[in-house]
Amino acid sequence: MRIMALGRALGVLVLLSGCASTRFSAPGAALEASLPMETPAGQFRIDYDSKDAQDATRVRQAVTEALPRLERWGTLREPVTIKVMPDHASLEAAVRQHGYSWLRAWSRYDEVFVQAPSSWAPAGATQPQINELLLHELTHSVMYQQASDRRGWSRKRIPLWFREGMASFTAEQAYRWVSLEELARHYERSPTSDPVRSPGDLYRDDSNFIYGVAHHTFAFLVKRYGEESVRGLLSEMKGGKEFPQAFESAIGLPPDAFVRDFTRYVRWRGFSGGRVQPRAPTPTN
């Protein structure tokens, strides 16, 4: 991990998460208790060990807090089960992701796996930290359910920058990651690098950097094309298109062209002017 990011990364270790872009069958977890939730945004069930009842209650509060901000992208079409895993080892085993010491949660179409907040650190997690993480995770589930069905969500070819960027943007987590200036300096040091389209091993080794890249790329998308275009993109995927074709239909240019625009914006430090210029209207004649 790069030195300039180390201090910040240590400070945010308990709030990092992931989302599944491929199918997997989680091993059966012996979670003996359940807490149902009926909300206007969808149905939830929180599964947990009886000894983690307090954690489950705090997770339920976090779900309640997340709902108003989730609804900007739509509602859940199917119930979501949130599984509170007793510790980090059980989380890794459940989602079959090993070697990610920073991982605290993992999301799929209709499941969210969360490490019990009381085990995140010696002093446990605060309620605002849990709220932020659950908002991030549930954004993934809403995105998948708005974009596809249970059989097709993992085959939509949704890139990491969009998956993690949308979740981080919704949870307002920019303050946790690298800044646009740090990203510009990365391009200066590594002019052939393409962390948006090719995150590679950085996702494991420097998650702070990759989450920052994803957040800023998605924020650029929203600032230039608006949230309605994002909802239109999800709708295009729901209609049957994969991400590249849906993106071009909803946004008006291929995703690779958009990424080039974002890369130029960062390299040329367009952000120093304080805002992204909106897209010029398309001529009618």
Q: For 231-270, how does the pLDDT look when each residue is reduced to its tens digit (9 = 90+)?
A: 999 999 999 999 999 999 999 999 999 999 999 999 999 9
Q: Domain check: are 131 and 69 in the same one? A: yes
82 plus 189 within the same structural domain:
no
Classify residue 276: in a domain, yes or no. no
- Cα separation, 123 vs 63, whole angstroms: 22
* Residue range 22-50, pLDDT digits in tens: 444 454 457 889 999 999 889 999 999 99
Give yes or no for residue 277 having a pLDDT over 70.
Answer: no
Share of the chain above pLDDT 90, in %: 75
Residue 10 lies in a domain: no
**166-182 mean pLDDT:** 97
Domain count, the chain: 2
**Residue 60 falls in which region: left (phi positive, over 0), alpha (psi -120 to 50) or beta:** alpha
Q: What does pTM read for this prediction?
A: 0.86
136 burial type by CB count under 10 A (0-12 exposed, 13-18 middle, 19+ buried): buried
Among 133, 217, 225, residue whose Cα is nearest residue 180: 217
The per-residue pLDDT for range 113-133, each reduced to its tens digit, is 999 999 998 889 999 999 999
Same domain for 183 and 262 = yes
**Average pLDDT value for the chain:** 87
Single-letter amino acid, residue 102 = W
Domain that holds residue 136: 16-23+30-152
